Amino acid sequence: MKRIAVLTSGGDAPGMNAAVRAVVRTAIYNNIDVYGVRRGFKGLIEGDLKKMNLSSVGDIIHKGGTILRSARCPEFKENPSCRELAIQLLNVFKIEGLVVIGGDGSFMGMKSLSDFGFPGIGIPGTIDNDLAYTDFTIGFDTAVNTALEAITNLRDTTSSHERVTIVEVMGRNCGDIALDAGLAGGAEAILVPEIGYNLKEISQKLINSNKRGKKQSIIVVAEGVGNLNEIANQIKELTDMDVRTTILGHVQRGGNPSAKDRILASEMGYHAVELLMEGKISRVVGVRENKIIDMNINEALAMQNKFNERRFEISKVLSI
């Protein structure tokens, strides 16, 4: 293998830069040329590729976002001629392998190129942690800590005003950010799409704890659960308490990556280049029980939900 390319795609995630740095430096260490594709698959079909060197990835390991930029490119998914064009351009640039850093959508994009026989390796970069084959995705740990800091701040004002604060966190259809930030933040209730909930029960719990003298409560809601205002209105009606809502939104996508995300990204980037050098075609990198692993993309994407129900039960017991 003489020349590879790397791109970041879908929602950005803290630690993507550390992964790009690892891919570029591992490739160069092994005498492989490496090109950065700007703005994901959109840049790929526009031929927006630039040769990278050791210093192109200097001073980025600690930075959130992605220096390669990211984009969603629906036409790449919908229009087969876009994928053919991508293969042609990769050939024009004499690229022999592609590393895609992104979520499950980006992995499907990579797979669509591998279906032409083109070697592609996926690195999971998304704050959502919604890929069942890997214990963690790059960016999740940082996002949880960002959400936790916000919940901690909200607790101060919630307590001063003896209110109920309902805070929505990201995660698309996955409740992992809500579960971890909620448990670490001592939330009185956590609502996730993976587990049914009963607002009457939750409200009764708030009323009971209020009678005991607990005057403030935090409820963490994963965005995939549904409409935050409807939930808040129902809780207000059922408890007659002073309720406020906060949507954390994209603040969770930014910020300096945590040590855990930087290390994960570095190890995954290194491993991805090794896989290309071994001639692997369509694999995704992950981490299981603290070991870096790789899997065939079809097997990986077929794996089912890994929601930590035991952790969820623990959070319920501890929030009484």
C-alpha 121/C-alpha 279 separation (Å) is 11
- Closest to 249 measured CA to CA, from 174, 193, 171: 171
Q: Residues 6 or more apart from 277 whose CB is under 8 A from it?
A: 1, 30, 32
* Residue 204 annotated as lining a ligand binding site: no
Is residue 119 within 8 Å of 53, Cβ to Cβ?
Answer: no
**Per CB under 6 A, does 119 bind ligand F6P?**
no
Please give the residue whose beta carbon sits closest to ligand F6P in the complex. Answer: 11
Q: How far is the CB of 293 from ligand ADP (least distance, A)?
A: 20
- What is the per-residue binding string for ligand F6P in 123-142, x denoting contact by CB under 6 A? ---xxx--------------
Our CB check for ligand F6P shows the closer of 103 and 185 to be 103
**Per CB under 6 A, does 171 bind ligand F6P?**
yes
Footprint (CB under 6 A) of ligand F6P, residues 24-53: none
| Ramachandran bin of 230, using left for φ above 0, alpha for ψ from -120 to 50, beta for the remaining angles | alpha
Residue with the two structure tokens 């059922």: 238
Our CB check for ligand F6P shows the closer of 239 and 258 to be 258
Is residue 169 within 8 Å of 140, Cβ to Cβ?
Answer: no
Query: Which stretch in 88-96, 103-111, 184-192, 198-206 sits in contact with ligand ADP by CB under 6 A?
Result: 103-111
* Residue 252 annotated as lining a ligand binding site: yes
Residue 170's binding partner, choosing from ligand ADP, ligand F6P, none, with beta-carbon cut-off 5 to 8 A by kind? ligand F6P
Q: Which of 69, 83, 172, 271 binds ligand F6P (CB under 6 A)?
A: 172
Active site residue 48: no
Residue 114's binding partner, choosing from ligand F6P, ligand ADP, none, with beta-carbon cut-off 5 to 8 A by kind? none
* Residue 188 annotated as lining a ligand binding site: yes
Our CB check for ligand F6P shows the closer of 163 and 253 to be 253
**Per CB under 6 A, does 248 bind ligand F6P?**
no
- Closest to 8 measured CA to CA, from 34, 32, 53, 44: 44
Selected catalytic residue, list 128, 135, 141, 180? 128
CA distances from 312 to 179, 187, 212 (A): 7, 11, 24
Is residue 297 within 8 Å of 280, Cβ to Cβ?
Answer: no
Q: How far is the CB of 66 from ligand ADP (least distance, A)?
A: 12
**Per CB under 6 A, does 69 bind ligand F6P?**
no
**Per CB under 6 A, does 224 bind ligand ADP?**
no
**Phi and psi for 161 in degrees, rounded to 5?**
-100, 5
Query: Which stretch in 27-35, 122-130, 183-191, 230-238 sits in contact with ligand F6P by CB under 6 A?
Result: 122-130
Residue 9's binding partner, choosing from ligand F6P, ligand ADP, none, with beta-carbon cut-off 5 to 8 A by kind? ligand ADP
Which residues of this chain interact with ligand ADP, rule CB under 6 A?
A: 9-11, 41, 72-74, 76-77, 102-106, 108-109, 112, 126
Give catalytic residues, as residue numbers.
Answer: 128
Residues in the site for ligand F6P, rule: CB under 6 A?
Answer: 11, 103, 126-128, 170-172, 223, 253
